[in-house]
Each structure stands twice: as C-alpha cells, then as structure tokens.
Amino acid sequence: MSRIRAKLALRGNGTLRSMSAHVLWRRILMIVPTVLGVLLVGFLLIRLAPGDPVLALAGEHGDAAYYTFMRARFGLDEPMATQFVTWVRRIAVGDLGTSYVHGRSATAVILERVPATLLLTGTALCIAIVCAIPIGAFASQRPYAARDLAVSGASLVLYSAPVFWIGQIAILLFALRLGWLPVQGMTDAGSTTYGWPRALDTARHLLLPAVVLATHEIAVLVRVTRAGVVEAMAREHVRTARAKGVSERAVLLRHALPAALLPVITVVGARAGHLLSGAVLVEVVFGWPGMGRLLLAALQARDLPIIMAVFLLTSCAVVVVNLLTDLAYVLRDPRIRLR
Amino acid sequence: MRPFSLAWNSWVNREKQMAGDPLPFRGRRMAQLAVSLAFAVVLAGACRDEGSERSADSLVAALESDPGHLNPSITTNGGIHTAAGLLYDGLVALDSTLSPVPSLAERWEILEDGARYRFHLRAGVRWHDGSPFTAADVKFTFDSLLLRFHARTRASMSQALLRIDALNDSTIEFVFRRPYAPLLQQLDVVEAPIMPRHLYRGSDPLRNPANLSPVGTGPYRFVSYSANSEIRYTRNNAYFGALPSLRHVTLRVVPDAATRVIALEAREIDWLFSVPGPDRARLRADPGVRLLQASESPGGSNCITTVGFNLDRPWFRDVRVRRAFAHAVNREQFVERVLFGDGRAADAPISSHIRFAYRTGLPVPGFDTVRAAELLEEAGWKRRGSAVRVAQRVPGLPDGTPLSVGFTVMGTQSTYGELLRAQLRVVGIDLRVIALETVVFAQTVFTERDFDTAIAAYCNGTDPEIGVRRQYVSSSIAPVPFSNMAGYRNPVMDSLFDAASRARDRTERRRLYGEIQALAVRDLPYVWLVETLGTRAHVARCRGFGRSSHFAATARCDP
C-alpha cells in the first residue's frame, strides 16, 4: 500500500492535522471481515434456530409433497454449507436473494423501507443531541443541587421505562386524550397530498415516535454530558480561564463543554445500533412503515433473505457510524491520531 | 410550550448576565427556533384541514401485518386473504348458513352422483383491466396456481380431482376420481379465488408483478400499495354484483393491537378485523363504536381451540386418563377468562356453526373433579398425600413416576396454559406450560412430535372435509401443521370419513358425521375446549358490513 501521507487539511479550526490515507483505507477495509463475520454468525443463528420457513409459509393444511416442492424451490433442501456459500456468492454480485414471503428481491423490499427508518432514527438522534447536551450542561452547573438531582432522576426514569410503554402512554396522552398528534402511520390514511402539505403531514406523524425513540438516548446523553462537564470543570485549563477572569458562561461553553463532548461523540456512535433496535419497537407501536417492522415480520416467518439482508445493511451502517465516530473524534480533538 | 419557552429564555438571559455572553444572539435564536418548530408541528396537528376528514364514501380498515403481496391463490396466509379479498371472486359465494350461492358461476349441475360438477359461468364479466373473464381463467387458476401453491386446496382436492375441462368460454367441468361431496364449500373467494390467466400465463406466479398490482373481478379495484403502510382500493363500477356504496377503501397496516384499538377510538380507523379481549369492554362503552361477532375469517373459519394428547406417550394410552383430564377442565372458565365471553364451550368435535354436521347431545365429559379423581385412581395414578399423583402399576411407567406432563402452546395462547394448569392441579395433575413461537410450535408438535399435550385452534372451515378430517384420519399423521396432532389411529374412523366425503346426500353426510363425533367422544384423542368467535369493531357511522372477504362491499357510511 502506498505510504503517501495525505494531509487532510480542514478549514475552520483545522483540527484534523494529519491522517494517513492508508489508515483510513485500512479502517474502511476492516468493514469487509467485520460484516462477513456478522453475516456468518447471523446465518448460523437463524438456520440453527428452530422453525421451518416453509411451515410458516404454508400455514395450516398443506401436505408433505407441498413442503418438499417449496423447499426445493427456495433451495432449502440443500446442505447448510451449500446454502451459505450460494448465498455469499450472490451477495458478492449484489444479489441478496428473493424474499420467501414477498416473492421479490430482498434488496427492493428493504430499500422501500429504509427511508422511513432513516427519517425516524435520524430525527430521534437529532432530538436526543439537541435536548440532551443543554440539559446535561444545565445539570452540571450545580452538581448534586436540586436541578442536578431532578435531571438525574428524570434520566433514570426515562432510561428504565420500556420504549413500547412510553410509546403507548404518549399515544394515549397526546393522540387520544389531547388530540394534538396522530396515533399511527407516516401520513394520514388515504392521503394523496404532495409537496409541503405532505411534508407537514409526515412531520406531524413523525414527532411522537421520534421523541419516544429519543427518550432512551436523551437519558444516556444527559448523564454522559453532565459527567463530562463536571469533570472538565475541575481541569487546569478551566481553572486558568477562571483565573484570567473569563465569565462562568464562557468557561462552560468555550472551555468545559467542548472537552466534555468527546465522550458524548463516542456514546452517540456506540448507540447507533441501539437506536435501530429501538426503532423496531417504536415502528410496531406507531405503525411506522420502516425496516424494523419488516425485520420483526421476517423473523416470525423465518424469511431468511430478508433477515440476512437487514443484518447486512445494519451491520454496515453500524460499522460506518463507528468509523465516522472515529473521524469525528479526530476532528474534535487535534491531539488524537488514528493509528 | 409557553412555560418551557419562558424557562429556557430566563435561563439563557440569566447566564448571559452572569457571564458576559460569548454567544449572545445565536443561543437565544436557536432556542426560539427549536421551540417555534415544535410548536408549529403541534399546532399543525391541532389544526387539521377539512380535506383530511374522511367523506361518507370512504372507509379505512386496519390490517395486522403487511401482506407482502396481493395474490391469495398462492398462499393460505390469512393476512393476504384479508387484504386481497375485495379484489377477487370465487366461482361460488357462501351465505350465512354456509350454503353455496352464485358468484362467478351463475349455476351448476352435479353429475355422476357427485363425481362431475359442471359450472355455467356468468356472462359479460370482465377483469378490472377490461379483459373478458372466461372458463380458461378458471382452469388456469386451479391447474397452475391453487393446486400447486394453495396448501389447503392442494391438500384437500388434488388427490380426488382427475381433471378440469373448459368445455367452452362459459362452461367448466371438474371431474373427480370418485364422488366428492365438499367441492361447493371449497370454491368461495377464500378457498379458491379466480385469477387472470392473461397476466400469469407463462410466468413464475411467486414473482409475477401482478402480485403487487393485482387485477381481479371483485367489487373493488386496486389503486396503490405502499409497502408496510397502506393499500388503496376504489370501487369497481363494472362489478357484476350489487354496486358497493363505498367508493374508496384504504387498508392501513397497524401491527400493534393496542394501537389499532386507540386508532379506532381516535377515528383514524373505521374498521378492525379483530379486537383483543381486554379492550372489548372499553369499546362497548364507546357510543361511536359498534362490535360484531363472526365465526368466519379469511385465516380460518369455525375454529375450536383443542387440547391434543400425544397418544404415543404412556401417560395417555389409557382412555381413563384422557377422560379424567376432560372432566377436570372447566370450559366455561375459558370462555369467561380467556375469551372474555366471545365464544362458547365446545360440546362436540365439530363446530356448531357447520349446522348440517354438528351433533348435539353427545356424552362429552363435563366438569366433574370428583369423577376425574376416581378415573385417575382407577388408572393407577394415586395421590399419596402429595399435590401431584404418582404411578402405581401404570403400564409403561415405573412406579412412583409423577403425573407431570408438558403442555406445549403457541406464545399467543399461553393464557390457556395458565388456566388449564390451575384447573388440573386440583385433581393432582402437574402441567408444565411450554410456550413456543408459532413456527417453532408447528415444528415441535407436528414435525418432531416432541410433546405430551398441546393446544391448537383447529379451524373446521365451511365443511368437515376441510378442517375436521385432518384431525382424525390416520393418513394425516404426518409432519404437517394442524394435522392429526394426537396421532390417533382408528380404521373405523378412517372409513367413516371416506364415506362422508363420498356421500352426496346431506342427510347421509349428517348421519355419518354424527357417527364420527360419537366415536371421537368415545375415544377422546382430544379435549374440545371452546369455539372461538372473532370480534370486529367499526365506527357507528358505518353499517351493513358483510362476510369476511367482501366485508366492505355491502357497507355504507354516514357523513
């Protein structure tokens, strides 16, 4: 590999001083064995778990000949190793297989649902970041005072409550009792609007599930921000700033909070996978037409091509988010280098 | 919103005063922007425009799951049949007494003592795309779709059917190897939806694009399918039957049962195909909602929740133990506590909704714990001061073996297990409830036969040949879900079912099914617990809903 060191100069505060291109490439290439490992484990878990997809497809009745016919049709009569090799070969040429239930390409089935999940999880993540950092900073200003205890208590409650329960309570309160927001779906039923009216309709339907999905993340990020700021406030550079007469607000926003954001970035990256798993429950409760619901239905029906395609997509997404987190780390702190 | 906004601004201002405000304008503006955005979204919700309100000619129904496709001829999946039923027709329809009435077939003749059926098709029927409907469509549907991919039609009909002949465009004949009595009960839109040959010919039916943009002859035409979200239909103005009142029907996918009920209460949904038991009382108290009960559904009709004994296990070889089990069960408690009143205690092996075959007055063991205890003592299961009985000279079991048996259930039916466990404990039987996922249950119970007792909802269908036969005949002891779970073998039973399937005369069939039920009650391979009903719910402004598949075709709504 070329040893050319690329100076990835950034404008503005110029934090990413130098990072080897080959290091970046190495990180990207690491995605391949990681994803392959995830796929192998996923394949074995699904295939070794009890439950026959053909029985699920046939439902009641059927006969032995029907099951034999369907197994041969889906290649399920082959040895497991052959099935895995065939499947990996197909993936190599971009074919994720055909869904047993949908009778269509698994890629097409999933891609139809990805935008809805991205919209939900992306909005939830934004809500979590926008809410959690100020709240965490607010709590950290008076450690162990009433405001800190109140925020910590609220975080604990939010983190402990199951997301589906929060969802049901939110629906009962904001949709049924107050009538402010819709109960379910991504748009009004039968809606034929386009453009801005549709965007507004979608935003109205998005708010409640996104906030519910964000609750766990808010709870975690508040705690991390609060702890990070309290720790940063005790550091020498903060003491120096104070000695120089910098105001408390400036100390917080310019000196303590930036230092406290490093662990927040780490947690945000690490929680990406968690957010996707939370989306499964939220999508079910709110009837949100995303990938999580598809995965749940596919697991129940043992629709292997769909399950494995979702595994592939989510594992890639998590690995990419982790890489972006590393890059963000470097951007945030010029002393850190990727090795 | 206002108190939050004030608190935020006050905090920002105070901090600003304290600290000389390094970012004075940006922070406040960001906060105001965020609050305004949230407020705008909530306001938008509060001020829905009139256009989003549904008119009197449209209906929104909730589906439990995304069907994946809309071809009911290649699957028995209830969700797909529920979603696609409005698009198609069968050769016949079934009225409220399950008697066949004309649909795509205008009339029919039964020839050669029931070995040949000739159907005369309705003239002038067209597919939704304008193509004419002919006998070739019927032949193609059976030969290339139903008898290959529809598990139920394939399993029940393919052995008896010799061939299907399209005599001309408007006449079709079904020729059987022997007289076949239940055919007319198997030709409605659930069991045999007729599909367009011109769209499926020469293609792989499982991957045909028409599965997602379906064309039928039914009362509604397909408009759009938004994956995992909703399916929209519009009225078929050229429908050969009565023109539906509702112009638009939207099927909305709402997977969570509680959310579906709340959506009905919020009037986002007009029709629910099912209502969970605990929610029924709340909906009954809502003056804007009406409840309906029906024994039919596209997933299975006339179901009896049944406990099956694995007759290969030594505990259950003695009929006295099975009889004791049956005496220990209080069926009324199941109706009250599990079904919340929506059903009845089963008193025969065949559903009371199949009126011609159902037999009354059978000596089904009733709730009698004293008699149950006597029978267990007689069979060698003694209670020696312990809660659980132990074996004493029970064939095939060492003395001292506790009467502790597994009870395998699907996760959705675990409440049956909990109640049964409590009831059987009274007579000294220890029941270990093993809850499994649906597909795992099917594999464990029917394929591997690794269970002591299990519970399943056996849907009898519209004729005992469809859903009862498979429970009792020895040829159904096979790795097939919902077949002969008990592993019951009795040559007399086999011959009675064969005779009933051949007998064309209903009186004769009634007599034979009576004998079958008496024999089943004598041998008791199963305990028939409860006949279940499906509870539908709809908004009070709509009425006139029809039978399961064409539920919206006869409905009308007020503004």
Contacts of residue B163, Cβ cutoff 8 Å, sequence gap at least 6: B175
Q: What is the pLDDT of residue B556?
A: 92
- Distance from C-alpha of B197 to C-alpha of B60, rounded to nearest angstrom: 31
Residues B458-498 pLDDT 10s = 888 888 988 899 899 998 887 777 889 999 999 999 999 99
- Distance from C-alpha of A153 to C-alpha of A127, rounded to nearest angstrom: 20
Query: Residue B142: is its pLDDT beyond 90?
Result: yes
Of A61, A64, A103, Cβ closest to residue B479: A64
Contacts of residue B36, Cβ cutoff 8 Å, sequence gap at least 6: none
Q: What is the pLDDT of residue B467?
A: 84
- Distance from C-alpha of A45 to C-alpha of B441, rounded to nearest angstrom: 18
> What percent helix, strand, coil does chain A show, rounded to 5?
75, 0, 25
B248 in reach of chain A (CB within 8 A) = yes
Query: Residue B518: is its pLDDT beyond 90?
Result: yes
Tokens linked to B292 = 């309906």
Mean pLDDT over A97-119 rounds to: 88
Could you tell me which chain A residue has the CA closest to the CA of B481? A60
Please state the pTM of the whole predicted model. 0.80
**Strand spans (E) along B236-380:** 248-253, 271-272, 289-294, 303-309, 343-345
Chain B neighbors of A128, CB-CB under 8 A = none
Query: Residue B412: is its pLDDT beyond 50?
Result: yes
DSSP of A231-280, one letter per residue? HHHTSHHHHHHHHTT--HHHIIIIIIHHHHHHHHHHHHHHTHHHHHHHHH
Of B22, B78, B440, Cβ closest to residue A51: B440
Query: Residue A167: is its pLDDT beyond 80?
Result: yes
Q: Of the given ranges (A3-7, B278-282, B392-396), which has the lowest mean pLDDT?
A: A3-7
Q: What is the pLDDT of residue A5?
A: 41
Query: Residue B18: is its pLDDT beyond 50?
Result: no
Q: Per-residue confidence at B51, pLDDT binned at 50, 70, 90?
A: very low
Q: A22 to chain B, minimum CA–CA distance in Å?
A: 39
CB interface of B with A, residues 490-549, below 8 Å: none
Q: What is the pLDDT of residue B320?
A: 96
Determine whether the interchain pair A55/B253 forms a contact, defined as Cβ–Cβ distance below 8 Å: no
Of B23, B230, B252, Cβ closest to residue A253: B23
B33 in reach of chain A (CB within 8 A) = no
Residues B145-166 pLDDT 10s = 998 888 778 777 888 899 999 9
Could you tell me which chain B residue has the CA closest to the CA of A105? B207
Determine whether the interchain pair B77/A57 forms a contact, defined as Cβ–Cβ distance below 8 Å: yes
Q: What angle do CA B473, B193, B460 make, to 5 degrees?
A: 30
B47 in reach of chain A (CB within 8 A) = no
B206 in reach of chain A (CB within 8 A) = yes
Query: Residue B351: is its pLDDT beyond 80?
Result: yes
Q: What is the pLDDT of residue B265?
A: 94
Q: Per-residue confidence at B66, pLDDT binned at 50, 70, 90?
A: confident
Mean pLDDT over A257-267 rounds to: 83
Structure ipTM: 0.78
Q: What is the pLDDT of residue B378?
A: 95
Q: A129 to chain B, minimum CA–CA distance in Å?
A: 13
Q: How far is CA B106 from the centre of its chain?
A: 29
Residues B531-540 pLDDT 10s = 998 889 999 9
Could you tell me which chain A residue has the CA closest to the CA of B15? A249
Query: Residue B60: is its pLDDT beyond 70?
Result: yes
Q: What is the pLDDT of residue B107?
A: 96
- Distance from C-alpha of B448 to C-alpha of B519, rounded to nearest angstrom: 27
Query: Residue B26: is its pLDDT beyond 50?
Result: no
- Distance from C-alpha of B228 to C-alpha of A291, rounded to nearest angstrom: 9
Beta bridge pairs of residue B308: B454, B526
Determine whether the interchain pair A57/B23 forms a contact, defined as Cβ–Cβ distance below 8 Å: no
Q: What is the pLDDT of residue A271?
A: 78
Do the Cβ atoms of B149 and A61 come closer than 8 Å?
no
**Beta pairing, strands B289-294 & B534-539:** antiparallel
Q: What is the pLDDT of residue B262?
A: 94
Chain B neighbors of A256, CB-CB under 8 A = none
Phi, psi of B132 (to 5 degrees): -75, 145
Phi, psi of B248 (to 5 degrees): -125, 135
Q: What is the pLDDT of residue A59?
A: 63
3-state secondary structure of B534: strand
Query: Residue B316: is its pLDDT beyond 90?
Result: yes
Q: Per-residue confidence at A21, pLDDT binned at 50, 70, 90?
A: low
- Distance from C-alpha of B99 to C-alpha of A1, rounded to nearest angstrom: 78
Query: Residue A55: is its pLDDT beyond 90?
Result: no
Mean pLDDT over B168-174 rounds to: 96
Determine whether the interchain pair A183/B262 forms a contact, defined as Cβ–Cβ distance below 8 Å: yes
- Distance from C-alpha of B31 to C-alpha of B453, rounded to nearest angstrom: 63
Residues A277-331 pLDDT 10s = 778 889 999 999 988 888 888 888 888 889 888 888 888 888 888 888 877 777 7
Determine whether the interchain pair B269/A99 forms a contact, defined as Cβ–Cβ distance below 8 Å: no
3-state secondary structure of B398: coil
Determine whether the interchain pair A180/B46 forms a contact, defined as Cβ–Cβ distance below 8 Å: yes
Of A60, A98, A294, Cβ closest to residue B152: A60
Of B11, B228, B230, Cβ closest to residue A189: B230
Of A176, A181, A185, Cβ closest to residue B229: A185
Q: B499 to chain A, minimum CA–CA distance in Å?
A: 21
Mean pLDDT over A4-15 rounds to: 42
